[in-house]
Amino acid sequence: MAPADIPFPNNTRSESLFGGARLSRRKRTILVLLLFMVFCMLWFNSGLNQVQNNLVSSPQEQQQQTKEYNNPVVEEVLDEEEEESLRFEEGTSVEKVDSAESVRPEISIESNRKEPEHYKYFIMIASRVGNANRRQLIRNTYFGLQDNLEPCMKRDKGIQYLFWLYGDMPTAKTAERRAYETEYMEWNDFVKVEESAYDQDALLRWAKEYFKKNNITFDYLIVQDAYSIIQLNYIQQTIDAEKNKLSETQSPTDLLWFSPQSKNVFVAGTSAFDKLWEYESDLVDFMPDTSLVLNLYEFNRALDIQRKVIDSPTESDRLAAYFKFPIFLGEQDRFVTWDNNVETVSDLTVSVANIYQEVDFILLAQRLQILPVPVCKVLDKSHIAVVTSSFIYPDSCMEAAAPPAADNKRAYALAHDYAFIARSTEFAQQALRVEKRRTVWGKIDAVQKVLPKYDWIFWLDMDAVIMNPQYTLQGILDRFRSEYPGGPREFENNIDLVIAKPTRDKMINAGVFFMRNTEWSQQFLREVQQYEKWYNLAPSFEQGAMWELLQLAKHRSHVLLLENDDHTFNTLPKRYTPGDFIVHFAPDKCPGPAVLGGLDAVKRIQNGEVVTKFEE
């Protein structure tokens, strides 16, 4: 999924409980009921807390078995290390876009049309912006997402999740901001909102608008803050068990499960979620300074008292028919607060709140035997991966351009059913090496890590922009096969690397290339890694090492070298012609402005313009 960043809607709590000068029928009824309730409470000298809610389901037999899933593995993520500036290709220039009126492109990278999506469970997790470590723990623990080497490009229709990020955005040009942008490029599973702190009502109002705008529906919504842990399989088991207890007139999606003592976690069926908004104006002032969910719960309890004391069964039935409340589940004691030790946590606990230390989160996951629930569709394995860098250098020159450049590549991959992988840790780890070398060598580390999982990888530097998504990687490879001397069979037997040598360049340009998963490729990458001469030799670095090794006969026969090729998949800006597949912006200074200009040109092409050139 690529969730959109939707502005937080206006607060709708402007209307009081009893409205303006004229009272509606519903509100006159509420006024009379509330006055009657106060009288009854004084007369019986009993508090609401002693009254049992008729709508609460009876306690069920706790289920001990869990569903079988894969065990998670926690991956440590390296912090960014400071390094030197990016290497840029010599002889290229800063571009300006020139365009003319013309034809609408055949395929658009982006589309505002949202296809309907339905999930059985949608999990929304409120997280402070800077709490990236906890988000990774949750990905790993809940969903088995250890890293993004085999990314979840298409979600399973059973489970979906989204992080709702609150708090101050990290300051621009800081390590924290670079880490934030990197996480977005690699995972694309959060949205940043304007809230300064976690507020359950704010999240619910935002979620209502988000679901509507993105055409998303669900059976059950689970909301939690990131300092809580939930036992998802127990929630599923309990919901399934409660469904069997309902009458024919009751809806399974009317279930609502939470603890009145906590705002950290709650579960609501889609019908129960809708009733929050149906009765919102009635609830808002019922108990000030509490949540909508708690107000709905207490309002239901108050009306339940009235039904008990009203003498007329007809009036009691009329009152019950007038307000259709959710079905509130019992067993609220399964929602607990962390007591700073795992020994006192019951095995059948559904959620634990206020867990602030990562080690405690891990210990609780072990104690509760939480097993990951897969969130990806079971699809045929993607044979091609689009791979790029998500590492933003300490000069922050690509801080603004890198995320939309990653979106550009991700959208292309999604459109054609390729995996999309953005990597940063392989670049960061260069600073940890004994033999120091430039950060750009992280590209070779990243390719070595990703390649064994796919048939082909298609590497694009961060400053490469897909201009024409009409081209497919399979189509390009098929053309190479058909045009290769000896035909497709000889291509399959011989070629493991496809790379371009632009016109008038002295060597290959390693900013964009195909590589096949073969033993030759792995051996070639090992030899590149060992080529110490190019570790710090500007301006070519790893590209120079690749070029020199490709001169050897044992490697030359495995390479399809696109000699003097400026248009197949690696076009420099000054050589761009309309319809070119990819423009590789590699100026002799920061590529950020150039990349943003290229991305703007993509949008203009989508709107029907023709970009004719990128000028110096």
Mean pLDDT computed over 127-137: 98
User: Across the strands, what pairs with 613?
Assistant: 98
Mean pLDDT computed over 548-570: 97
Concatenated DSSP letters of 280-320: HHHHTTTSTTS-HHHHHHHHHHHHHHHHHH-S-HHHHHHHH
Distance of CA 297 to the CA centre of its chain: 32
**Pairing status of strand 384-389 against strand 419-423:** parallel
pLDDT in tens, 435-464: 999 999 999 999 999 999 999 999 999 999
Residue 320 C-beta-side C-alpha neighbours within 13 Å: 14
Give all domains of the chain, ordered by start, each with its CATH number: 117-270+327-368 (3.90.550), 384-607 (3.90.550.10)
Of 57-61, 413-417, 590-594, the range with the lowest mean pLDDT is: 57-61
> Is residue 494 pLDDT above 60, yes or no?
yes
Q: Read off the pLDDT band of 281 (50, 70, 90).
A: confident
* pLDDT at residue 477 in the model: 98
* pLDDT at residue 299 in the model: 83
> Is residue 411 pLDDT above 80, yes or no?
yes
Quick check: bond before 539 cis, omega within 30? yes
* 239: nearest Cα among 298, 327, 156: 327
> Is residue 74 pLDDT above 70, yes or no?
no
Higher pLDDT, 153 or 236: 236
Residue 351 C-beta-side C-alpha neighbours within 13 Å: 27
| pTM recorded for the entire structure | 0.80
**Pairing status of strand 464-466 against strand 456-460:** unpaired
pLDDT in tens, 181-228: 999 999 999 999 999 999 999 999 999 999 999 999 999 999 999 999
CA–CA gap between residue 521 and residue 453 (Å, rounded):
13
Percent residues over pLDDT 70 in the chain: 77
* pLDDT at residue 346 in the model: 94
Mean pLDDT computed over 264-274: 96
* pLDDT at residue 8 in the model: 30
* pLDDT at residue 381 in the model: 61
* Mean per-residue pLDDT over the chain, rounded: 83
* pLDDT at residue 322 in the model: 66
Higher pLDDT, 3 or 315: 315
Do 223 and 211 meet the contact criterion of CB atoms below 8 Å apart? no
Mean pLDDT computed over 425-438: 96
Between the alpha carbon of residue 615 and those of residues 99, 130, 571, 587, 594, the distances in Å are 11, 40, 14, 12, 11
pLDDT in tens, 300-353: 888 777 767 776 677 666 666 667 889 999 888 999 999 999 999 999 999 999
